[in-house]
Structure 1
Amino acid sequence: MRQDVNMPVQSDGNQSGAKSANDACDARNAQEGRQSGNPALYGRKVLSFVRRSARLDARLQRAWDNYSDVYLLDVNAGEGSLDVREGFVFDAAYVGDAWGNDNPLIVEIGSGQGENVVAAAAAHPDVNFLALEVYDPGVAHTMLLAGKQDLRNLRIAQVNAPELFAAAADGVFDQVWTFFPDPWPKMRHHKRRIVQPELAADIHRTLVDGGAWRIATDIEDYALHVHEVMDGMAGFHNDGSITVSLPVEHVGKGNANEAASMRHADFVESERFSGRVLTNFEKKGLAAGRVIHDFTYRRV
């Protein structure tokens, strides 16, 4: 039973305390690196999330107690750890044991409250789904939604996503979804964005031939970041069919209004992915007037 947990928090404007703590941690590690002759952040993983202590409310705690044995995969290094345990391999044999079949497998990085992955699992019972989420309330809420429908084709791993992909065998995933990842708007935090060349290389390796990495963001600066990482990535083809205009420089946090006056260039993106449900998060972005950028990068 989970009573008190370390809870990752989103890095939006309401999480200044978490971001300040993370900035301080970056500074300490940079100083230690300089003193030891090692680079900044030496000895510490660059994570796409921040952790903070929190409790589940009674409803989510019941969901955890009732459904964790059904949905939560035991791949962690230990209680409370988001690391993948040493020696673990996510391969076809493991999929067969965990899901009981060899159906196609789709993994969602950062599944949030589970609205999208649960809807997809319910609509496609002949497809296996894996939700990767580090945020305890999100994991519990996903189990709550899945348990209400008695879904048998969904599993959840509460681990750092890049570690899971590093531990995965070649060609084990049919698709990877990353919808509305944390934007990390400050320039010095762009290294924390989940879309990075190292992860892209592991996703390419673990996708089947013809498999796709689907990405969506409502942050224009993040869309540019995706193009910078993915458009020149060997082994991926941008399957997009529409042309969008984006500034060719990053603006940083609080400077989005400057983007309109910057030099722009045309980029290729995808139509909205029909398999993505309209979540509350996406609705809020649309209501705020933000443009949704969809991407489909196919392994070739």
Structure 2
Amino acid sequence: MSVEAEPLSIASPSVDDAKSGPRREVLSFVRRSGRLDKRLQKAWDCYADEYLIPLNESESSLNVREQLIFDVETIKQYWGNHNPLIVEVGTGQGENIVAAAAAHPELNFLALEVYDPGIAHTLLLAGKQGLHNLRIGQLNAPDIFAHMQEGIIAEVWTFFPDPWPKMKHHKRRIIQDSFARAVSAALAPQGFWRIATDIEDYALHIHEVLDEMDCFTNVGNLTVSLPIEHVGKGTAGQAVNLPHKDFIESERFEGRVLTNFENKGITAGRAIHDFTYRAKATS
């Protein structure tokens, strides 16, 4: 049984109309046009056919093919086996998922990313190591989850998603109720959704969305104090004076490498918030 293929996108069409297509949806990203440098273009030319899988409507679209059902046969088609599949939503430069794929050849990995430079860099890292268990989808992540067979994914990773810090843009954050329910349906029973952010207000947002959902259990073991009122880009400094409440979070996921992006957050003095949510078995 598959999840109904309904759009689950979450904030406004992007800059690149050719990529985002004609739909008027809320997306969690803004398309940025730009050329690849020679090194990344060469990586794209050399490795795209091997790693970038054609789940899109077309090469110029971020939308999934309307009739696609991402099931065990899809995994067999593109990975050549039925090994457990881990999906990373928002791969960035690919440092984390490429390291994980290299360390765990017994697992399959799917990197979801929308930006050309990030995909090209992931292609470069994967191609240099000759990895065979990694594939990349240039897709709107909620769209592909809406097309997934129930229980098809072992784990989902969402590390350092775009925080959309302005209050008026919080609706663009990818972690929303509709996406969470699609992730839950796609996860195998007892499968994990691992999340990390270095933005305190996004940590509060994650707790608000996921802690009380009937399809997830927060299995963290750390107590963290957070303000219980939201702040925006210009008011974040006021958070320390707001009322606080204790929340449960997780220790740092040992399977996540320290990327350049995360290190910048640490250098800037921001605390890293890790979350582990376990999918509940459906009755």
Give the structure-1-normalised TM-score.
Answer: 0.86
User: Residue in 1 aligned with 2:97?
Assistant: 117
Q: SS state of the match for residue 247, structure 2?
A: strand
Alpha-carbon shift at residue 79 of structure 1 (Å): 2.3
How high is the sequence identity, in percent, across the aligned residues?
65
Q: Using the alignment, how far apart are the partners of 1:159 and 1:258 within structure 2?
A: 37
For residues 207-259 of structure 1, the C-alpha deviation after alignment (integer angstroms, 9 at most, x for no partner) is 00110000000000000000000001112110100100000010111211100
User: Residue in 1 aligned with 2:38?
Assistant: 58
Aligned partners of 2:190 and 2:279 also within 8 Å? yes
Matches within 5 A, 1:263-282: 263-282=243-262
Q: Using the alignment, how far apart are the partners of 2:247 and 2:230 within structure 1?
A: 15
Q: Which runs of 4+ in 1 moved over 3 A?
A: none
Q: Kindly provide the amino acid, as one letter, of the partner of residue 230 in structure 1.
A: L
Q: Using the alignment, how far apart are the partners of 1:251 and 1:75 within structure 2?
A: 38
Q: Using the alignment, how far apart are the partners of 2:59 and 2:91 within structure 1?
A: 21
Q: Kindly provide the amino acid, as one letter, of the partner of residue 140 in structure 2.
A: N
Q: Kindly provide the amino acid, as one letter, of the partner of residue 62 in structure 1.
A: K
Q: Kindly provide the amino acid, as one letter, of the partner of residue 232 in structure 1.
A: E
- Pick from 236, 240, 263: which aligns with 2:220? 240
Aligned partners of 2:145 and 2:183 also within 8 Å? yes
Q: Using the alignment, how far apart are the partners of 1:22 and 1:266 within structure 2?
A: 37
- Pick from 69, 74, 78: which aligns with 1:94? 74
Question: Once superposed, what is the RMSD of the aligned Cα atoms?
Answer: 1.6
User: Residue in 2 aligned with 1:249?
Assistant: 229
Aligned residues: 263
Alpha-carbon shift at residue 22 of structure 1 (Å): 7.2
Q: Which has the higher contact order (CA 8 A, sep 6+)?
A: 2
Aligned partners of 2:57 and 2:66 also within 8 Å? yes
Q: Kindly provide the amino acid, as one letter, of the partner of residue 64 in structure 1.
A: W
Give the structure-2-normalised TM-score.
Answer: 0.91
User: Residue in 1 aligned with 2:57?
Assistant: 77
For residues 133-160 of structure 1, the C-alpha deviation after alignment (integer angstroms, 9 at most, x for no partner) is 0010000110100000000000000000
- Pick from 180, 184, 191: which aligns with 2:160? 180
Q: Using the alignment, how far apart are the partners of 2:104 and 2:47 within structure 1?
A: 21
Aligned partners of 2:160 and 2:197 also within 8 Å? yes
User: Residue in 2 aligned with 1:45?
Assistant: 25
For residues 158-198 of structure 1, the C-alpha deviation after alignment (integer angstroms, 9 at most, x for no partner) is 00000010011101100000000000011111111010100
Which ranges of structure 2 fall in alignment gaps of 5 or more residues?
1-11, 16-22
